Amino acid sequence: MKKLVLIGYMGAGKSTVGQALSEQMQVSFMDTDCWIEEKQGRCISDIFAEDGEDYFRKLETDCLKELLEQKENGVISAGGGLPLREENRELLRKMAYIVYLQVSKETVLERLKGDSSRPLLQVADRETRIAEMIQVRHPIYLEAADTAVEVDGREVEEIVKEILDLFLNGGFGKK
Ligand code: S3P
């Protein structure tokens, strides 16, 4: 079995769904953002503020290279911007089935109300920023993924079940 990676925009529920999936599948779970924060001993906002986004993106690639070396099964939640680099998409493809959790601007706005941990969303007009980013990223996420799953208005259990059904029935590869 390959690993299973969840990609998608901030607030799509990658960590929540990933954790639930890993429990059902009885495999390990990891989150690339947490991996980076642990290695760096500082939070993502500080990494962005002190060393910039490019530096953070390099750390994401380092994380994937290390994951590629680990042979065991597992579920991974990938930071929202991780699939933007072609190099990262290639690394992901080598090691994992890739599921895109597709979320709307409205859901993101609601879920991340008051959130201050995402440096890219600390802007005056958050709604426009989210809309623009989703527009740019959506085709990239779609292209990177084996399967896309809509999350708006759905319970975690339902999303987990859809992914598990696809996974167990060999439905990956059908977008
Ligand atoms: C980012 C998403 C964040 C985190 C960083 C940048 C992005 O992860 O990696 O703030 O560019 O979309 P989540 O998607 O887990 O929020």
The Cα–Cα gap between 34 and 55 comes to 16
pLDDT (average), residues 158-175 = 79
Residue with the nearest Cα to atom 11 of ligand 1?
81
Q: 5 phi and psi, to 5 degrees?
A: -115, 135
pLDDT value at residue 36: 98
Between 40-44, 124-128, 156-160, 164-168, the lowest mean confidence (pLDDT) is in 164-168
pLDDT (average), residues 24-42 = 97
Distance from the CA of 80 to the center of ligand 1, in angstroms? Answer: 4
Q: Are 18 and 29 in contact (CB under 8 A)?
A: yes
Residue 154 is classified by DSSP as -
| Residue 49 or residue 168, greater confidence | 49
Task: Decide: 140 in ligand 1 pocket, CB within 6 A.
Answer: no
Distances (CA, A) of 159 to 57, 65, 88, 154, 165: 28, 28, 25, 7, 10
Beta-bridged to residue 77, according to DSSP, are 6, 31
Q: Token match 């600390």: residue? A: 122
Which H or E element spans position 89? Answer: helix 86-95
Question: Which among 55, 58, 84, 120 is the best mutation to test ligand 1's pocket, defined by most ligand atoms within 8 Å of the CB?
Answer: 120
Distance from the CA of 8 to the center of ligand 1, in angstroms? Answer: 9
Distance from the CA of 82 to the center of ligand 1, in angstroms? Answer: 8
pLDDT in tens, 100-110: 999 999 999 99
pLDDT value at residue 24: 94
- Asked whether the predicted pLDDT for residue 117 surpasses 50, the reply is yes
- Asked whether the predicted pLDDT for residue 171 surpasses 60, the reply is no
- Asked whether the predicted pLDDT for residue 166 surpasses 70, the reply is yes
CB atoms inside a 10 Å sphere around CB 112: 16
The Cα–Cα gap between 162 and 150 comes to 10
Render the burial of 34-68: b for 16+ CB within 10 Å, e for the rest. ebbbeebeeebeebbeeeeeeebbebbeebbeebe
The Cα–Cα gap between 22 and 16 comes to 10
Nearest residue to 36 (alpha-carbon basis) of 140, 105, 147, 117: 117
Distance from the CA of 4 to the center of ligand 1, in angstroms? Answer: 18
**Reduced to 3 DSSP states, what percent helix, strand and coil does the chain have, rounded to the nearest 5?**
60, 15, 30
pLDDT in tens, 44-67: 999 999 999 999 999 999 999 999
